Structures are given as structure tokens and as C-alpha cells.
Amino acid sequence: MKVVVLGASGETGRSIVSGLLESPDKFEITAVSRPSSLESKNNQTLKKLGVNLVGLDLDGPQDEWVRLFTGIDVVISAVNAAVLRAQIPIADAAKKAGVGRFIPCCFATACPPRGVMQVREIKEDVLDHIKKIYLPYTVIDVGWWYQISAPRLPSGRVDYAVAFPSDHIAGDGTAPVARTHLQDVGRYVARIIADPRTLNKMVFAYSEVISQGQVVDMLEKASGEHLDRNYISELELNSQVHSSQEALRLGDVSAIQGLWVAQYQLSWGIRGDNSPEHAKYLGYLDCKELYPDMTYITFEEYVKELLNGKAIRVYA
């Protein structure tokens, strides 16, 4: 199966490439990178792994994208969240080239399409376009990464690996949260894209369901350290959303990060959107039902990795 991956040098993209390479199904992989990034360390690693590397800007000429996509079975987009809308003309090129399946960049938490998270709405705009042009697709969401689930410890011993510590517990910390080790994302993707049952469907591919309160309990027990519970209320999170929106309105584009962080916490931490039950309601197929044989890294194993100095920091 011939696969093109956009954003292959990134966090999700690298997991996808390694999942495809380790799969028993044979995938011929082409990674597309911005020409300015072709020499990056991550791209050089991809090359060494046998991935065919092509330089093309996301807003590059459409005929070049059509040429690249001609004869391709699956296009997977794992681009940075800041450039999601650039996928719309790329989806048009995929349609023109007759691509068998387009995986738009989702790979995040389950959430209602509109009115909850701004970043989700951009992803839904892309999906609306895909449906408008009848491009075969699969949406894959993976829950919250283990790698951004853990809080810091008072000793500082996990600081080396926790790029975005979850130091606050949203609400009372009991909302069920589907979570996945980043390394497993690509293994799920490899199964899903080779499966005809997932064509024109949304799939929720997650490993474990663990509330934020349980995450803190597990870290405390495994480390032997005491962790203060820093709760953040719905009211406080809503106020962060409003102040970020106001800053954006006044032209501070950097406020987008604060908006997304607060909206994510409201969605998975307070509303409980990112649970298998809600995902099913929203129309997702559940990977546990599709692939009951699939093994995965447990959160407990990740905590061991973290405490043993073996975890890998994301966006390093």
C-alpha cells in the first residue's frame, strides 16, 4: 500500500511512520516536508529508515500535489495544529489524483464538532470540505497523550520528560479521560488504514480511560512523593477562555495557545467529552471493538518509564 504522510517529521507523524514500518502490512511511505525543513534531524532519521522524502510547501502549486498523490492509496496528514486549514487545497489535490483515502489531521480528543473547542471547529471545517468533495476519508482521534498527562513531582525527577505538565486538576478530577501513549498512535493508524470497515468513518483509538484524579494518585503511589491537588474550576477555566478570546480580538495572536489549553481542559476535564461513551454517541467506531487483540502501552508502564528516566520529552 502506498502512503503519503504530511507532517511526518513531527510528534504524531514520527509515531505514524514507525507504526507503519513495524506493521506486518507492507507500506511504501513518502513523507512530505517543507523544503526549509528537509535537512532537519528528524527528516534525516526518516530517510535512514527508508522513507522517501519530498520537499513541498503546504501552499505549494496544486499540480505538484496532484502529481505527488497520483497512484497513492492513503494520504495521512499530521501537520502542526497552526496550519490545519492548509489541508483544504491539499484535499482537493487528493480528490483530483484519485487518492483512495485521506486521513485529515485530527489525532486528538473526542469532542462535539461545534461550540466546545475552537481547534476542533477548524478540523471540522476541513472535514466538511472533504465531505463536500466526496473524498474518501477516515477521522482518527486518539484521546489525550500519556506524555502530556502527568503532573510535575516535588523532587523535580520527571521534569526532564514532562514538556507540558498537567499541574491542575479540572473540576473534581473524576471525568473519564481516554489516553494513549504517543508511540502507540502509529500502531493504531497502521491497523485502521488497512481496514475497509473504517472507510468514511471516525475511529476512536485509545488505550486506557483514566481520570486526572487517578493520574495523580498513580504518580503519587509509584513515586512515593506527596502531590498537592491543585483544582481548577469550570468558572476559572471559562474566565481563561474569555480573557484569551479578548486578547485575540485585540490582535494578540499568541493568546491562541491559552485559549486551546483552557478549552481542552473544559472539554475533557469538566464536560467529559473525551470518553469512549461520548465518542460512540458522536459516531466514532471504538478501536477496542474493532481490534480486541491489539496490545498497547499501559499508563502504569508509562509511569515506570517516566520514573526510571526512560521517557522521551515531546517537542524536544
Ligand X SMILES: NC(=O)c1ccc[n+]([C@@H]2O[C@H](COP(=O)([O-])OP(=O)(O)OC[C@H]3O[C@@H](n4cnc5c(N)ncnc54)[C@H](OP(=O)(O)O)[C@@H]3O)[C@@H](O)[C@H]2O)c1
**DSSP β-bridge partners for residue 32:** 6, 54
Give the orientation angle of helix 212-223 with respect to helix 299-307, to 10 degrees. 40
- Decide if residue 97 touches ligand X (CB under 6 A): no
- Decide if residue 107 touches ligand X (CB under 6 A): yes
Stretch that binds ligand X, among 4-12, 19-27, 236-244, 296-304 (CB under 6 A): 4-12
- Decide if residue 212 touches ligand X (CB under 6 A): no
Residue 191 backbone zone (phi > 0: left; psi -120 to 50: alpha; other: beta): alpha
The answer to whether the CB of 179 falls within 8 A of the CB of 274 is no
Residue 170, CA atoms < 13 Å, CB-side half-sphere: 24
- Where is 285: in which H helix or E strand? strand 284-286
Residue 283 backbone zone (phi > 0: left; psi -120 to 50: alpha; other: beta): left
Give whichever of 17 and 307 is closer to ligand X, judged by the CB atom: 17
Give the residue from 208, 175, 172 showing the smallest Cα distance to 303: 208
Active site residues: 123
Q: Which of 61, 63, 71, 82 binds ligand X (CB under 6 A)?
A: 82
- Decide if residue 56 touches ligand X (CB under 6 A): no
Stretch that binds ligand X, among 81-89, 216-224, 274-282, 287-295 (CB under 6 A): 81-89
Residues 7-36 that bind ligand X (CB under 6 A): 7, 9-13, 33-34
What is the pattern of x (binds ligand X, CB under 6 A) and - over residues 165-204? ----------------------------------------
Binding site for ligand X (CB under 6 A): 7, 9-13, 33-34, 37, 43, 58, 78-83, 105-108, 142, 144-145, 148
